[in-house]
């Protein structure tokens, strides 16, 4: 009697990721349709700062255009972070539960940081500066999020064995973030000089310390 051996291959569903990528594309299409002129100016942000001059009012921080791009940014960076962590054997890039955990972590971290900034800004009576400064940072990071999204999709559905490539990619993303942050500081350099104490407090407490603790937590975990 012939003995049949069955090899069961464990298949990991990527449907949840596909749905998220499609939803992001749909959201980008909706934004481009309803805010065509603004979106076209936005994607030229790395070339010129016309968009920042037109939409510099702090009320733009919580409108539908900015909030929609912020959501895409969160999804994009969460995917990118999970994929990078998967290359170091910390998580599985196809694990939907881990994605939700990372997404929640980023959301809570950013919103908590924003609320603390509001408290500090109110204490020093510089609410308008804080709102505009955050708007500048948010615009640049939202654009980086749009650029990272297709890269994250390619890395998610394809296996890349080269660790050097991942390090280069991380370096590029971090470099772009640093350059855009410096550009934001340069736009407010005259005001920062007059508020140097606030800026030092802000830089140490809200820009350096939180990221250091996240890095420490990930490496220790």
Q: Tens digit of pLDDT for each residue in 122-139?
A: 776 767 777 777 788 888
pLDDT value at residue 5: 44
pLDDT value at residue 18: 92
SS3 readout for 117-186: HHHHHHHCCCHHHHHHHHHHHHHHHHHHHHHHHHHHHHHHHCCCCCHHHHHHHHHHHHHHHHHHHHHHHH
Contact 140, 180 (CB under 8 A): yes
pLDDT tens, position by position, 187-211? 766 666 666 666 666 666 666 666 6
Q: Which of 115, 149, 138, 148 is nearest to 65 (CA)?
A: 138
Rounded Cα distance, 103 and 78, in Å = 6
| Average pLDDT estimate for 214-219 | 66
Rounded Cα distance, 86 and 78, in Å = 12
Q: Which of 140, 113, 132 is nearest to 192 (CA)?
A: 132
Contact 76, 177 (CB under 8 A): no
């Amino acid at each position: 009697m012939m003995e049949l051996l069955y090899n069961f291959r464990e298949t990991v569903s990527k449907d949840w990721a596909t749905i998220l990528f499609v939803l992001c594309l749909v959201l980008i299409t909706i934004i481009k349709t309803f805010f065509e002129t603004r979106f076209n100016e936005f994607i030229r942000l790395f070339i010129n700062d016309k968009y920042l001059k037109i939409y510099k009012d702090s009320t733009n921080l919580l409108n539908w255009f900015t909030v929609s791009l912020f959501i895409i940014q969160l999804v994009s960076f969460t995917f990118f972070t999970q994929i990078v962590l998967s290359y170091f054997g910390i998580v599985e890039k196809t694990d939907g539960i881990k994605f939700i955990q990372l997404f929640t972590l980023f959301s809570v971290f950013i919103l908590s940081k924003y609320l603390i900034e509001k408290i500090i800004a109110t204490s020093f009576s510089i609410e308008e500066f804080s709102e505009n400064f955050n708007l500048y940072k948010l615009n640049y990071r939202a654009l980086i999020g749009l650029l990272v999204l297709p890269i994250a999709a390619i890395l998610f559905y394809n296996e890349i064995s080269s660790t050097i490539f991942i390090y280069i990619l991380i370096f590029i993303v971090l470099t772009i973030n640093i350059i855009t942050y410096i550009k934001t500081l340069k736009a407010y350099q005259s005001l920062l000089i007059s508020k140097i104490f606030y800026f030092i407090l802000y830089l140490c407490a809200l820009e350096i310390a939180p990221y250091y603790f996240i890095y420490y937590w990930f490496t220790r975990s």
